[in-house]
Structure formats: structure tokens, C-alpha cells
Chain A
Amino acid sequence: MIQVSGLTKFYNEILAVDHISFEVNKGEVFGFLGPNGAGKTTNIRILTGFSKPTEGKIFMFGLDVETQIVQIKKHIGVVPEISNLYDELSAMDNLIFMGQLYGIPRSERKKRAEELLKTFKLYERKNSLFRTFSRGMKRALTIAAALIHNPEILFLDEPTVGLDVVAARSLRNLISNLRQQGVTIFLTTHYLEEADLLCDRVAVLVKGKILTIDTPLNLKAKTDKKSLEEAFMKITGLEPEILAIEKGK
């Protein structure tokens, strides 16, 4: 589904992504794990055509992201870190507008929007303005908007940041459901428990470099740790720092 080779990105002289290569298979949930500033969002921006790589190649569905991004966008959905729909439009109008941009026929647009509003439990508020929604509802509607055209790949950038426990849990269930429907999911997160629950494979990213790619189970086994969080600390070399902080206490 996604093939990335030698991807590198410099912002002026700062190296944000350092020669990374990986593949994402059809139907899997692939996680990008890393601390803040590791380059997770930069990677998503490059993969979705917002930013040009300094070096490297990305192919999605066999199409080149650099030259065929418009065709690729028809088959991908993106949920950015910030819920960025229109405050002045209602939930229904936001989804209809997105459907219009994706060229969904008029006869199907409303039906699809209603389906999504029901799935995300927002149907009762379909005529409420986006700005009146809670953070969790905004997040849910932003994901719904990304799904309006039935994408084959869904990019989720830090999907549960800022959500309360209930909203985050419901969102995780939703991601699991999407995976069961065959949607390939690429997500970035710094919540390791979330990655452990959702991801088939994870890539550990530090300072723009991939340190390892494997299943959560294998990472725990390789590092001889019980949780993905502990395994992550060991892989990234952050373990001594944490121990030092704990000793200082």
C-alpha cells in the first residue's frame, strides 16, 4: 500500500527526517511512535503531499506521491492533529461540503453523511455548528469528514490527544472497527498503550530516524520488557534518563 525509501527532510539546516524506509501493508494498522519532535507529523505531511521531501521516494497504490498526489488523495483520508473543520458550518454541512470536494454524487452525499453521523453518534447534533461541539465531538466529526469518500488508507495524526478517557476509548474502538472493514491505518502517537492496543506493527522514531520496526509483541520480547512503554524506553535509550529522574525523586 505504502512504500517509502530513503525519505529525508531538511528544514533549512535542521534534519527533521533522516533517510527512513518502510512499507505499510494493506489492511494493517501501522503506528509511528516517538517522543515530541521525533518527526512524526513531518512524516505524515510528506506522505500526504503537504511537504516535499529533500530526498527519497514515496509510492502509494503504486503511484508517486511527488507527481501523482491528486490521484492519490482520492483514496486516502487524513485526520490532522488539529480538528480543522469549518466553525460556521453545521456538522451535516461540513460533511456535505467535503463530499462535494471529493466529487461524491449529489444522490449519495447526504446518505453517506447521515451514515457517518450515526456511526460517530453525532446524528442528533447534525444541525449544530461545529464550533458548538466538545473537543471529543470535534475530533469524531473530523474523522468522519476524512472517511466521507471511503478511503483505502486513513492517516491519523495523534488521534486521541486532548480527549477524555471515554472519548479516547470510543475512538480506539472506532479505529478497530475501521481495521475490520479493511481500511489501512497509519497513525502517529506518543501514547504507547494506545499503540500496543491498536497497531499490528510499529516504527520507533527518534530524531527523525527509525530505530526499529516490528510488532508490539516482538518488541516486548526482544527487549525482555512487559510493556511497550518499557520496551520503547529501552530501544530509544531513554531508560537511563528515566531511572535517573526516578532516583532524583
Chain B
Amino acid sequence: MWRDNLRGIFYIALKDIKTYYFKPPAISWGIVFPITWILAFYLRNPGDFKELVPGLIAMTILFSTTAAEAVVLNFELRLGTLERLLLAPISIDAVLLGKVLGGVIFGFLMTITITIFSVLILGLHPNLFYLSLIIFPSLFVFSSLGAFLCMMVKEVFEAQTLLNLPRFLMIFLSGVVYPVSKLPVVLQYFSYVLPLTYTVDGLKRAFSTSLNKMVLLDSLILIIFFILFILPATKLLYKKFE
């Protein structure tokens, strides 16, 4: 049965990338939007652009994984195509994981493009092992966050609106452009419950020259966030078919 599920996850992800992700809206939302934001902040406060690279990569992960993820599930529920997937010999969990994996693969392609360009243009030397320890769990965290929020609402537009709240909160409170340590104490505490804080922190450490084991802790916390989002999302999807 696990073989059926693995096959289902793979082909659903592949189909989603083909039908939803490699389309102008997803690409612009996933890659153009983060670049525009970061450039806007840079022009407002010119300084060393290198310091903004972890924030740029973190935003690319956040926006590219959720570009279509937040709407795909409700869209397919409405059209009945999600039900069609469930006619195949795979579990509901596998269908959801396939949807999440679609967002992860698209997010990975966007993130890797931004990272390679940043590294080459700015001459950075990140620790690749640390970088992957942060990027991979983050891709799963934000893709599953999109799925979770999508499952909480009925309409496609509601999902997109609902997801914008954590998205924009995280941009301002997770250290993307403004360090968490410089935030008021109350907001600092609040930032610790936002997953993007650990993505940005981990990426900053991966780009620093010294070895820093705290990356492992960031990675572990991100894995916990993934579990915290994917489990209720699965439960909610089961409920939709009750």
C-alpha cells in the first residue's frame, strides 16, 4: 500500500506542477514579488545588499510554495477533481502530501534560482549543508501551511486572503528586513511562534563564515512546524469527505 501511496504522491505533484505552477501568476507571485519587496526595502534603506539575501531567499520560499498551494485544494474540491484523485487506490493522506510536494518542488526550483543568482552575483560563500538543512524543511513547512489554511475555508478567494495575514506578519516580524533583536520585546516573543523566523535565522547562520550548530535547532523547529501544519490539514481534508 505504501508503494501505491508513494506513486500517487509523485504523480499528483508532477501533474500539479504542470497544470498550476508553471504559469505566469504562480511564477510572478513566487519569484517577482519577493524580489520587488526586497528591492523596495533596499532602496528605502540602502546598505549592504548581502545582508538582505537570507531574507530574500526566505521570502522566495514562503511565496513560491504558497503561490498556488493555498488555492489548489479548494479549487479542486469545487471542481470535483480532488474526488477523482480519491477514486484511485491511494489514501487521502497521500493525496494531500502530493499536493504539498507540488508546492515544495516548485518552491525549490524558484529558491534555487534566486540562491544561485545571489551567490554568484554577490560572491557569497554559504555553507551548503546548513543551507539545505534550512531550505528543505522550510519548503515543506510553508507548502503545508498553505494546505492547512486552504482546508480551513470553503472558497478559493478566502484561502488566499487568509494566507496573506501570516505571510505579511512574517515578513515584518521574522527578521526578513528588520532584525528580530531590534523589535520591541513583546513582538520578539511573538516572532518565535512564526516559522519564517527560524528560516531567516537559519539562513543567516548558513551565510555566516563561522560554523554554527544552532542551524540544527532551527531545522528541528521547522520540522516540528511541518508536523503541526500537516496533521490538522489531513484531519480537515478527511472531514471534507465525511
Q: Which residues of A line the B interface, CB within 8 A?
A: 48, 50-52, 70-71, 73-74, 77-78, 80, 82, 84-89, 97-98, 100-103, 145-146
B156 within 8 A of partner (CB):
no
Closest to A73 in B: B89
Are A101 and B80 in contact, CB atoms less than 8 angstroms apart?
no
Closest to B86 in A: A50
B83 within 8 A of partner (CB):
yes
Q: Which residues of A contact B241 (CB under 8 A)?
A: 50-51
Question: Would A86 and B89 be within 8 Å (CB), given that A52-B242, A100-B7, A101-B7 are in contact?
Answer: no
Are B86 and A70 in contact, CB atoms less than 8 angstroms apart?
no
Contact partner of A88 (CB less than 8 A), chosen from B19, B87, B90, B91, is B19
Q: Which residues of B line the A interface, CB within 8 A?
A: 1, 3-4, 7-8, 11-12, 15, 19, 79-81, 83-91, 241-242
Interface contact tally, CB-CB below 8 A: 59
Are B89 and A74 in contact, CB atoms less than 8 angstroms apart?
yes
- Docked Cα-Cα span, A223 to B221, in Å, equals 71
- Docked Cα-Cα span, A11 to B84, in Å, equals 23
Question: Would A101 and B79 be within 8 Å (CB), given that A52-B242, A70-B1, A88-B19 are in contact?
Answer: no
- Docked Cα-Cα span, A52 to B3, in Å, equals 25
Q: Which residues of B contact A71 (CB under 8 A)?
A: 1, 89
Q: Which residues of A contact B11 (CB under 8 A)?
A: 97, 100-101
Are B89 and A51 in contact, CB atoms less than 8 angstroms apart?
no
Q: What's the least CB distance linking A194 to chain B, in Å?
A: 23
Contact partner of A85 (CB less than 8 A), chosen from B3, B81, B89, B242, is B81
* Contact sample, A vs B, 9 pairs, CB 8 Å cutoff: A48-B87, A70-B91, A71-B1, A84-B79, A100-B7, A101-B7, A101-B12, A103-B3, A146-B87
